[in-house]
Amino acid sequence: MDEPKTGKHPRVQEDSPDVHPATTCRAALTVRLAMTPELPADPEAAEALQERLRDSVLAHDPRPPRFRTVAGLDSAYDESGAVVAAVVVLDIDTMKTVDTAVAHGTTRFPYVPGLLAFRELPTTLAALERLGTTPDLLVCDGQGIAHPRRFGLACHLGVLTGLPSIGVAKTVWGECDEPHAARGSVSDITVDAEVVGRALRTQAGIKPVYVSVGHRISLDTACAQVLALAPTYRQPETTRRADQLCRTLLRDTVARG
């Protein structure tokens, strides 16, 4: 898997007098991303990594959630393996875009159900590293713990970055009843009697989205945040804007050859 190259960064102590408080979280995230190990290149090793990391997921709020900024992450790729990842950061109160970043790359990892993360992670992490701000919450276009090994893309991004994360998928993994038609209605998604997520109706009479915990957030909080981020459309604004950006850039890349 080819990916954008980033330099190594020295470790920054968060209590250092040389670090301005406003840059502390940004510096800590930069260090964490720079220390990310190389990802497996074959499906068997990728599944083993998911099995190993899934116990790192925290499916609860470790502190009272006070999210001020939220990032939507999405990727687009074509048959040649070209990938464009986009991150769009919104002010959660105003819904205004406060930061964006993109990264281009290629992937040779095969399309295997349950291993989407290994096609998207390298460019997504590169885009995150290029942000000028650190978001309080990540909203991913994909699964969290509603996943065959309970470790989807949202979990992987959350564990690698240390940030709270949510998976918002367009299709369900597991079993669930159709939620009521009213906006905000939910229905549990279960696998072997275990609740792994919820179908959430973000717009009345429109097909629901499927929300699951990624990392460091409870399912209740995750659903509340996704509903707040979807005042008009089925998909949360974070996902919509990131999707539009990465698809536009991929088209431009392909057109340039």
| Cβ(124)–Cβ(163) below 8 Å | no
How far apart CA 89 and CA 109 sit, in angstroms, is 28
List Cα–Cα distances, 74 to 51, 174, 189, 194, 196, in angstroms. 24, 23, 23, 28, 22
Lookup result for tokens 């431009």: 252
Closest CA to 34 of 161, 153, 140: 161
Take residue 241 and report the two structure tokens written for it: 């804007």
Binding residue per annotation — 78?
A: no
How far apart CA 115 and CA 139 sit, in angstroms, is 18
| Cβ(54)–Cβ(155) below 8 Å | yes
| Cβ(190)–Cβ(175) below 8 Å | yes
- Compute the residue count for the chain: 257
Cβ atoms < 10 Å from Cβ of 151: 27
Binding residue per annotation — 136?
A: no
Q: What residues are designated binding site for Mg(2+)?
A: 74, 141
Q: What residues are designated binding site?
A: 74, 141
